[in-house]
Structure 1
Amino acid sequence: MFRTALRNVLAHKARLLMTTLAVMLGVAFVSGTLVFTSTLSDAYAKSSAKGFEGVDVAIRPGHTGDRSEIDPGGVPDLPRELLERLRRVPGVESATGAVSGFAALADKDGGLVGQGWSTQGGNYDTGPDGTGRDPRYDLRDGRAPQRSGEVALDARTAERTGYGVGDTVRMSVNGPVREERVVGVFDTDDGGVAAGGTLVLFDTATAQELFSQPGRYSEIVLTAAGGVGQRELERRVEEVLPEQTVATTGAELADEQARMTERSMDGMRTGLLVFAGIALFVGVFIIANTFTMLVAQRTRELALLRAVGASRRQVTRSVLVEALVVGAIAALVGLLAGIGIGAGMRSLMGSLDATVPDGPLVVAPSTVIASLVVGVGVTVVAAWLPARRAAKVPPVAAMGSVHAPATSRGLLVRNTIGALLSGAGIALVLYATGLEDGEMPMGAGAGLLVIGVFVLTPLLSRPVVGAAAPVLRAFGVSGKLARQNAVRNPRRTAATAAALMIGLTLITGMTVIAGSVQKGIDKMATEAIEADYTVSMANYLPLSPEVERALEKEEQVTALSPLRNSASRIDGDYEPLTGVDAEALDELLELDFTQGSFAGLGGERVIVDTATAEAHGWKAGSSFEVVYEDGERGELTVSGVYEGNEMIRGIMLDTATLDPHLEQVTSMQVMLKTAGGASESVKSSLEEALGDNPAILVQDKEDLSESIARMFTMMLNMLYGLLAMAVIVAVLGVVNTLAMSVFERSQEIGMLRAIGLDRRGTKRMVRLESLVISLFGGVLGIGLGVFFGWAAGELISGSLATYELVLPWGRMGVFLAMAALVGVLAALWPARRAARLDMLEAIKTE
């Protein structure tokens, strides 16, 4: 039986080709994902470890006691006195004070260099006497920065931008444009630089002024003297550390960085594997369909095997062995293809300027095992039901017909099960829409509904395909035959259409959700904000007060308010405070007040959103005690309660009240209104007033909408690209089904040719059958996608009040057209094959 199974694989290799391709694509996606993420994790981990080679112990600010006793302002930076004290600890060879923060560098064309979030600034520490060398950085050219107005650039950035020693660069730290002279170029193992970011170094005094406070550091790095281990040095320095200060060994820092890198890869890995799983799930339909048709075509052969003594178990094993061989071949080819995909994705990141650290391509043993298990497992599991069906063929069938149609009782049982599953799925989805946290029941309901619809597709195929009859009649005999062929075997039609249905369900559902969320956020932004412009940093870090002062000097600005963020403690819990200009706010925001109004805002009077008010039991006139970030206490009174949203919420008070308690006066955003309203000329003049700074965004309402649209468009395009794999597998399924159907109907096609159906009519018949099946899957997929999009929107609307269901009719039309195109393309080869059949040979076929 084993030899028989192998001979059957070789005999049907052409018919098994599409199945092999479907499994191979899914396995390639899985292995490519694992290779890519493993390679990135390994490269970043090694880069991080190399970056910590010169660090034996790092001293950082941190909470070490009871947080309830700590002021809400956070942990203070490390003072110079601590640095001097650590230099005197026995076993410390050197102690380096580090300061860091955001520093946006402009290239020669004025654009932002690096990846935004990883554009960092720091200090070059020359030691206590000002003549030392910073062990973290090796100067390649020039010298270290020694005074304000001088900077050093990392070598990768210098090479990328063309800057060198003696050049003047434009940059920004927290708003205002600075012009600095490059005095040095250095090498570094910093992970952010290795990933495509930039690092700009200042002298220590300038860096402290920009990123911290004079005489304070964000980190102190210690190197141990000979013979002193990291643990021993850590134990010694802990004896002299003050409270709210933490010592960590370099090895622990490297391990922590490696774990963070691995966790950051987990999200990407999981997301990509989900789509690989979808592609494999779609492939299950193809595999099951292929083996079902092979079993049906070999009914007489299998019955003869039974007649000559083969047991049911042996017949089942023979079909499973075929599946095992097909799965093993597909898994091996898919693994090799996946390794190529992983290498290609890494190269693609490099071409997109998303530089990754150097390192080898990593093919872990777990990747090989997972690929083989997935490929072989999916194929064998999908072939199990057809194998069981093959074992039930009685020996007497050797004298009967080649294909026994499904009984009406079998279809009745199937339809009953499908109706129960679909009903349970719909009920669970509808129930979940009324819950605050209904993601899990909705996911379970969606799964049940998809399975239920798949089980019901044979029943649904007849009316849906029948609805196309008037159109098909226009194609004469070919159209009539195509409709009859599509409904002749409803189970096969259902399995073929289901593969396409799943892909289009996901694509349509995500399109509906993304479009509706975009509309809701867009509506929220435009309705809540009356300001003509908002000004913020490109990476949304705090803005310098100099930006606010520069905008106030502009003649066309009629109203302006910053949005300052500050931590506080109220009733023992941390609450954010938002500082605003009380006099200008009513011209810049449009809020719905349930109690009070903007008029009461000012001094010790604040306005709060309804969620915060309910959480604390406040109403207009309520007073409460607050601990500001500097530890000072005060009493505030609620003068108004407004309906908050995702963009505007929390406790708002006048900046005149909040600013005295801030360690650093900065703003997350500045809103402003202009005399002439929003226009390109006004926007240009505002940008010019801010020095045409690449790190600052000046946005009107249209810009906000476009930025939201770009974000969702990019997300959707990524999802479309990932789901394209499932659609490609579905196309292979249609091709496979039609090709095997043509082989199965060879005698019938020969008879049709003999009585007058020409080659063109034969091609048209196969193409129309393919078109009908694909459109059937498309209609089901789009319908389910819209339903799931609506249901998910009901959940989202609980947290997004402005959510509005948007049905993308244009895109749904495109999706249906894509389904039709799938049908046309998938039929090209089977239709050509059917038209080229030799009539006499086909008629003699059994």
Structure 2
Amino acid sequence: MYRTALRNVLAHKGRLLMTALAVLLGTAFVAGTMVFSDTLGQAMKNSYTKSFADMSVLVTDYTADGGSGPGPKREHGTEQLTDATVKQFAALPGAAGARGVVSGFIGVADRKGDLIGQAWSARGANYVPDPAGHDARYPLVEGRAPKGAKEILLDRATAEKGGYKVGDTVRLATNGPALDTVLTGIVTTDDPEVSAGATLTLFDTGTAQRLLLTPGRYSSIAVKAGPGTTEDALLARVEQALPAGDRFRSETARSLTDEQKRMIAEGTSGMKTMLLVFASISLFVGIFIIANTFTMLIAQRTKELALLRAVGAGRSQVTKSVLVEALIIGVSASVAGLLAGIGIGAGMQALVHALDSTMPTGSLVIAPATIVVALVVGVLVTVLSAVVPAVRASRIAPVAAMSGGDQPATQKSLIVRNVIGSLVTAGGLALIAAGAATHNSDGRIPVAAGAFFALIGIFVLLPLLSRPVIALVGPLLAALAGTPGKLARQNAVRNPRRTAATAAALTIGLTLVSALTVLGASVGSAVDKAVTGSMKADYDVAMVNGHGLDPQLAARIAKAPGVSAASAVSYLPWRIEGVDSSAMSVDASAAGSLLKLTMTSGTAEALGQGLVLVDGRTAKASGLRVGSALQVTYPDDTRGTATVGGVFEGNDMLPSVLAGSAAGTGHGQEAEVRDILVKGTDGPTTALRQAVKDATGNNPVIEVKTKQDMRDEFNKMITFALNMMYGLLAMSVLVAVLGVINTLAMSVFERKREIGMLRAIGLDRRGIKRMVRLESVVISLFGAVVGVLLGCFLAWAVNGTLSASLPGLGTVVPYGKMLLFLALAGLVGMVAAIWPARRASRLDILASIKTD
């Protein structure tokens, strides 16, 4: 029987090619994902271990406000890391020296005024020269050390990107007006962040402290151990010398390296998991192709299998022979997939490095787990997919050798299948509806579980659904294509199970694609409404990296030509009615011109009287109304009250409490300015935008955005995320296309006599091609329609679970895109039918009629 199985694989290798290709693609996706993520993770670990090579213990003041730039700084107690602390650590027994480190945000503009690199990775630090004028951490390759407030050093990559040479004027970006400085030197560094594309600007220590922290203060101190002193021993001595309190954190270089490696491992693990999910989808789609292929092969070999039974083969032997065929295909396809996956991993690494040369790279990492997982998964998927067809093969009676054709499913089996499918589908849909009804994150697990069961149930019911759904397009096919159209419809419903298995592969892909599209459109619409519903201002001024703005910048912008109103927007760290909440301070005199408030009671002018405004949800939850006392706990843990002067309708872009600017001072708090809202005398004009930009000193990290700019920015994020998901789902769609091609090709072989008779009675080659193509289109559209409907329903349910975190979220169905997906599904069916249709039209008439 094993020799028979091997001969069957060799005899039907052409018909098994698509099955093997589906397994190959799925395992290649799995192996490629694992190779790429392991290689990238190892390269990043190797790179980031250099971060702590020049230190033994690092003491960090986690309250240091690195990145605030010029302007008032927030103090956190009296204890700080100062020069005295550096000397104290350097004098500890076993210490070879200590270095005070200042670090924070400083961006560098190129000659056109645009920011070099990304704002989130723009760093400033202090250069600590030795008596010879050199800093071992940052070797000078050209020029000299900076000596004054207007002198800086740049890393070599940043200088090259900006086209700067020693002696040039360089514009620096802070959270306030830009600064013009002189480049006195260029350095190199093995800092992995700089190697990864971060810009590095170095100042003398006094200037760095003034710009990034406060004079005399350090954000961290690096202590180096002397010969014979371990990191742990030095750490113990450092901790004894640390000031009291929990604001300082001390760690050894080894623990910092381990923590960095752990974070890298978690990051690459998340990426690997996401990619493996999409690889699993491709393999899941492949299950339908494999099962369909073996089902059709067994139907075509009914006589052969029945004869084997007649000459003495037992049921178990027939089952084993089919499973051995699947095993041979699974092993060979998995090995090929593993090799292809290694190539994919290498290609992804090369592509990422080509797109971003700053990404760390290294030799390929092919872990034993990658080999085992790729081979085991590929073989298991193939063999398990063939189990049901193998069992059916074993049930073929010897008497079937006297007749051909499919062994029709019994009425009992169809009833059982439909009942089970109906129950599973109903249970899944009920779980989805229950999860959506929670209107919070608690419903996500029921929705996910319901989606799984609903998909399984619908797959079971697809044969039942195929007949009435496809029958609806019967008149249209007949009208458009005449006899070939009628034949195409009849062929599509002739074997509902086969049609369902072929369509199911496309159903999976279209379910996910349509669900993601509806979710993206819904969230985008909700955010768009929130932006337009809360903002009267013409422009929003903010840092591109999310850092706070210089509090004095609002006053400068207010004096710019064409500005009628401007206000800093600050967020206050208050506890309101005993609950951590969100409060926002805004200039009371400008609030009415800048914010769109719909008052349900009281007036917005109450802000000018020192009162606060609360949104409707907070007022209802706490029983507040105009005149009520709002209990507030401030950052210094003191308590106070604020009087409610009005209640406004809640808005997603506004916090629950609005207060005047004066509310952000005192009680140990200094409100951080996140935005500055600007209203123009003549609305949003090019001249006004430029005037506001000029008021910032043309700072390249400060954006001046209109409401439309904010919409476009968010839409770009949604579009990017969707395009990435579409790209990852493309593999499963490709596997689904292979399934359609495979089914049609095998169906043509199975219907050779029928096609020969059609040719004999007058249907020309063009009619045969049209018949096969239309059959393919009908099957593809059937799967696509089911997938789009299910995807829209799932998106509606997921929106229900997000409604608490994103109030105002409604389900928005982009009908144009849904129709496009259906059109693309029809095109997929048309393309998939090219080869089978061509093959069918070229069958010899007499040879086909004589087919046994």
TM-score range (shorter-chain normalised) is over 0.9
Task: Give the corresponding residue for 1:292.
Answer: 295
- Partners of 2:350 and 2:221 lie apart in 1 by 37
2:11 partner letter: A
1:98 aligns with 2:101: yes
Specify every segment of 5 or more residues in structure 1 that has no aligned partner in the other structure, as ranges.
64-70
Query: 1:405-484 to 2 correspondence within 5 Å?
Result: 405-435=408-438, 436=440, 437-473=442-478, 474-484=480-490
Match of residue 68 from structure 1: none
The one-letter code matched in structure 2 to 1:27 is T
Q: Report if aligned partners of 2:689, 2:704 keep a CA contact under 8 Å in 1.
A: yes
CA distance in 1, matches of 2:132, 2:283: 63
Letter in 2 for 1:465: I
Matched residue SS, 2:722: helix
Distance change (3 Å), C-alpha of 1:679 and 1:469: same
Q: Secondary structure at the match of 1:326?
A: helix
SS in 1 for 2:180: strand
Identity of aligned residues (%): 52
Aligned with residue 711 of structure 2, among 692, 705, 719:
705
1:110 aligns with 2:113: yes
> In the aligned structure 1, how far is the partner of 2:472 from the partner of 2:579?
63
Corresponding residue number in structure 2 for 1:512:
518
User: Bigger shift: 273-282 or 733-742?
Assistant: 273-282
- 1:171 touches 1:178 (CA, 8 Å); kept in 2? yes
1:26 matched to which residue of 2?
Answer: 26
Q: For residue 96 of structure 1, give the secondary structure of its aligned residue in structure 2.
A: strand
1:382-416 CA distance string (max 9 Å, x none): 11111111111122222232321222222222112
How many Å apart are 1:681 and its aligned residue? 3.0
CA contact (8 A) 1:566 1:662 kept: no
Q: Which residue of 2 aligns with 1:755?
A: 761
- Contact 2:108–2:170, Cα closer than 8 Å, also in 1: yes
Q: CA 1:618 to 1:723, structure 2 compared with 1: closer, same or farther past 3 Å?
A: same
- Which AA in structure 1 matches 2:403? G
**1:97-119 CA distance string (max 9 Å, x none):** 11111222222333222232112
Matched, 1:45 2:45: yes
Deviation of the 1:370 alpha carbon:
1.3
The one of 819, 823, 827 aligned to 2:825: 819
| 1:120–1:200 Cα contact (<8 Å) kept | yes
Question: What does the per-residue CA deviation read over 1:59-81, in whole Å, with 9 as the maximum and x for residues that have no partner?
Answer: 01259xxxxxxx99699752332
Deviation by residue 1:143-191 (Cα, 9 ceiling, x = unmatched): 2322212222222223333323222222202131112222222222323
Query: Residue 72 of structure 1 contacts residue 628 of structure 1 at CA under 8 Å; is this kept in 2?
Result: no
Distance 1:575 1:835, change over 3 A: closer
Aligned with 1:368 (options 332, 353, 371): 371
How has the CA–CA distance of structure 1 residues 361 and 468 changed in structure 2, closer, same or farther, with 3 Å as cutoff?
same
Deviation at 1:4, TM superposition (A): 1.7
Alignment partner, residue 748 of structure 2: 742
CA 1:106–1:345: 2 relative to 1, 3 Å: farther
Which residue is equivalent to 1:126?
Answer: 129
Amino acid at match of 1:357: P
The residue that corresponds to 1:236 in the other structure is 237
Distance 2:418 2:197 in 1: 57
Name the CA shift for 1:11/1:694 in 2 (closer, same or farther; >3 Å): same
3-state SS, counterpart of residue 3 of structure 1: helix
Matched letter for residue 462 of structure 1: R
Once the two structures are superposed, residues 642-662 of structure 1 have per-residue CA deviations (whole angstroms, 9 ceiling, x without a partner) of 444442114433223423556
Structure 1 residue 306, shift from structure 2 partner: 1.9
Match runs of 1:485-524 below 5 Å: 485-524=491-530
Determine if the alignment matches structure 1 residue 5 to structure 2 residue 9: no
Measure, in 2, the Cα distance between the counterparts of 1:31 and 1:178: 50
Change (3 A) 1:827 1:643: same
* Other-structure match for 1:599: 605
Q: Is residue 387 of structure 1 aligned with residue 397 of structure 2?
A: no
**How many angstroms apart in 1 are the aligned matches of 2:617 and 2:35?**
46
Pair 1:432–1:288, CA change in 2 (3 A): same
* Alignment partner, residue 205 of structure 1: 206
- What is the alpha-carbon distance in structure 2 between the residues aligned to residue 572 and residue 231 of structure 1? 42
Distance verdict in 2 for CA 1:232–1:569, change over 3 Å: farther
Please report how far the alpha carbon of residue 726 of structure 1 lies from its aligned counterpart in structure 2 after TM superposition. Answer: 1.2
Conservation of the 8 A alpha-carbon contact between 2:526 and 2:809:
yes
Distance 2:416 2:598 in 1: 56
**2:317 is equivalent to residue 314 of structure 1:** yes
The alpha carbon displacement at 1:699 in A equals 0.7
CA distance in 1, matches of 2:278, 2:178: 44
- Residue deviations 1:302-350, cap 9 Å, x none? 1222222222222212211111121122222222222222222222223
Q: 1:256 to 1:645 in 2, by over 3 A?
A: farther
* Separation (CA, whole Å) in 1 of partners of 2:800 and 2:651: 17
Give the partner amino acid of 1:439: R
Give me the whole-angstrom Cα distance separating, in 2, the residues matched to 1:326 and 1:784: 33
Distance in structure 1 (CA, Å) of the matches to 2:75 and 2:496: 67
- Cα deviation digits, residues 47-68 of structure 1 (max 9, x gap): 11112111210001259xxxxx
1:742 is displaced (CA, Å) by 0.7
Alignment pair present for 1:248 and 2:254: no
Q: 1:108 to 1:364 in 2, by over 3 A?
A: farther
Are the equivalent residues in 2 in contact too, given 1:603–1:656 (CA < 8 A)? Answer: no
Number of equivalent positions: 837
> Which sits farther off after the overlay, 816-825 or 240-249?
240-249
Name the SS for the 1:418 alignment partner: helix
Counterpart of 2:67? Answer: none
Q: 1:508 to 1:73 in 2, by over 3 A?
A: farther
Query: What is the match of residue 271 of structure 1?
Result: 274
The whole-number CA distance in structure 2 between the counterparts of 1:57 and 1:368 is: 40
Measure the CA separation in 1 of the matches of 2:690 and 2:611. Answer: 37
Q: Name the SS of the counterpart of 2:840 in structure 1.
A: helix
Q: What residue number does 1:67 align with?
A: none
Mapped partners of 1:370, 1:189: distance in 2: 36
Give the distance between the partners of 1:483 and 1:625, measured in 2 at CA: 71
8 Å CA contact 1:74, 1:629 repeated in 2: no
* Structure 2 unaligned spans of 5+: 64-73
Q: Quick check: 1:99–1:207 contact (8 Å CA) kept in 2?
A: yes
1:736 counterpart SS class? helix
Confirm or deny: 8 A CA contact 1:104 1:113 kept in the other structure. Answer: yes
Contact 2:573–2:634 (8 Å) recurs in 1: yes
TM-score normalised by the chain length of structure 2: 0.94
Q: Alignment partner of 1:216: what SS?
A: coil
- C-alpha separation between the residues in 1 aligned to 2:400 and 2:607? 89
- Give deviations 1:452-476, integer Å, cap 9, x for gaps: 2111111111111111112221322
**Structure 1 residue 619: Cα displacement:** 4.9
